[in-house]
Chain A
Amino acid sequence: MSQRTSRIRCHIDRPGFSLDVDVGWDERVAVVFGPSGSGKSTLFEIVLGLERCAGAHIRIGGSTFDDEAAGLYLPTECRDLGWVPQSPTLFPHLSVSENLDFGRARAADRDPAARKRAIEVLEIGDLLGRSIDQLSGGEAQRVAIARALASGPSALLLDEPLAALDLPLRARVLPYLMRVRDQLDLPILYITHDPDEAQLIGDIIVVLDAGRIVASGAPRDVLWSRAVLPLSEALGLENVFEGGIRREHGSPTFVSNAGLQLVLPVSLDGDTRVRIGLRAEDVVLAADRPGKISARNVLESRVIACDDRDGDVYVSLDAGEKLVAKVTAAAAAQLALAPGSTVYAIVKAQALRRLG
Chain B
Amino acid sequence: MNGDLSALPGIVALTLGVGAVATAAMLAPAVALGFCLARGNFRGKALVQALVAVPMVLPPVAVGFALLILLGRNGPLAFVWSALDIDLVFSWWAAVIAAAVVGFPLLTRACEQAFGEVDVRFEQVARSLGLGPLRSFFAVTLPLARRGVLYGSLLAFTRALGEFGATALVAGIIPGRTETLALGIYSRVQLGDESGALALCAASFAIALIAMLVAEGWLRRSRP
- For B140, give its contact among A80, A91, A103, A148 (CB under 8 Å): A91
The stretch of A17-25, A81-89, A246-254, A301-309 that contacts the partner chain: A81-89
**Closest B residue, CB atoms, query A87:** B121
Q: Closest CB-CB distance, B200 to chain A, in whole Å?
A: 41
> Are the CB atoms of B223 and A81 closer together than 8 Å?
no
- Whether B175 is near chain A, meaning CB under 8 Å from some CB there, is no
CA distance A228 to B130 in the complex (A): 38
User: In the complex, how many residue pairs between chain A and chain B have their CB atoms under 8 Å apart?
Assistant: 59
- Whether B57 is near chain A, meaning CB under 8 Å from some CB there, is no
> Are the CB atoms of A77 and B124 closer together than 8 Å?
no
Of residues 304 to 329 in A, which have CB atoms within 8 Å of B's CB atoms? none
Q: Closest CB-CB distance, B14 to chain A, in whole Å?
A: 37
- Whether A256 is near chain B, meaning CB under 8 Å from some CB there, is no
- For B143, give its contact among A80, A93, A102, A106 (CB under 8 Å): A93
- Whether A48 is near chain B, meaning CB under 8 Å from some CB there, is yes
Q: In the complex, given contacts A77-B132, A79-B128, A133-B223, what are 15 additional A-B residue pairs having Cβ atoms less than 8 angstroms apart?
A: A50-B127, A77-B127, A77-B128, A77-B136, A82-B128, A83-B125, A85-B124, A91-B140, A92-B144, A92-B223, A102-B126, A102-B129, A103-B129, A105-B130, A151-B129
Question: With a CB–CB cut-off of 8 A, which chain A residues contact B224?
Answer: 92
> Are the CB atoms of B144 and A93 closer together than 8 Å?
yes
Residues of B at the A interface (CB closer than 8 Å) are: 119, 121-122, 124-133, 136, 139-140, 143-144, 223-224
Residue from B121, B125, B126, B140 with most neighbouring chain A CB atoms (10 Å): B125
Q: Closest CB-CB distance, B137 to chain A, in whole Å?
A: 12
- Whether A59 is near chain B, meaning CB under 8 Å from some CB there, is no
CA distance A91 to B119 in the complex (A): 11
**Closest A residue, CB atoms, query B120:** A50
CA distance A148 to B126 in the complex (A): 10
CA distance A133 to B121 in the complex (A): 18
Of residues 95 to 133 in A, which have CB atoms within 8 Å of B's CB atoms? 102-103, 105-106, 131, 133
Question: With a CB–CB cut-off of 8 A, which chain A residues contact B130?
Answer: 77-78, 80, 103, 105-106, 151
CA distance A148 to B129 in the complex (A): 7
Q: Closest CB-CB distance, A94 to chain B, in whole Å?
A: 8
> Lowest 5 A-B CB distances belong to which pairs?
A106-B130, A103-B129, A76-B127, A83-B128, A93-B143
Question: With a CB–CB cut-off of 8 A, which chain A residues contact B140?
Answer: 91
CA distance A238 to B126 in the complex (A): 37
Question: With a CB–CB cut-off of 8 A, which chain A residues contact B121?
Answer: 85, 89
Number of interface residues of A (CB under 8 A): 25
**Closest A residue, CB atoms, query B121:** A89
CA distance A82 to B129 in the complex (A): 7
> Are the CB atoms of B129 and A85 closer together than 8 Å?
no
Interface bits A126-147 vs B (CB < 8 Å: 1, else 0): 0000010100000000000001
A-B contact pairs, 13 of them (CB 8 A): A48-B128, A76-B124, A76-B127, A77-B128, A77-B129, A83-B125, A91-B125, A91-B126, A92-B144, A102-B126, A102-B129, A106-B130, A133-B223
CA distance A113 to B224 in the complex (A): 32
> Are the CB atoms of B129 and A50 closer together than 8 Å?
no
> Are the CB atoms of B127 and A89 closer together than 8 Å?
no
- For A89, give its contact among B119, B131, B143 (CB under 8 Å): B119
Q: Closest CB-CB distance, B166 to chain A, in whole Å?
A: 37
> Are the CB atoms of A89 and B125 closer together than 8 Å?
yes
CA distance A80 to B139 in the complex (A): 19
Question: With a CB–CB cut-off of 8 A, which chain B residues contact A148?
Answer: 128-129
Of residues 57 to 75 in A, which have CB atoms within 8 Å of B's CB atoms? 75
Question: With a CB–CB cut-off of 8 A, which chain B residues contact A106?
Answer: 129-130
CA distance A151 to B121 in the complex (A): 17
CA distance A103 to B128 in the complex (A): 9
Question: With a CB–CB cut-off of 8 A, which chain A residues contact B143?
Answer: 93
CA distance A48 to B130 in the complex (A): 11
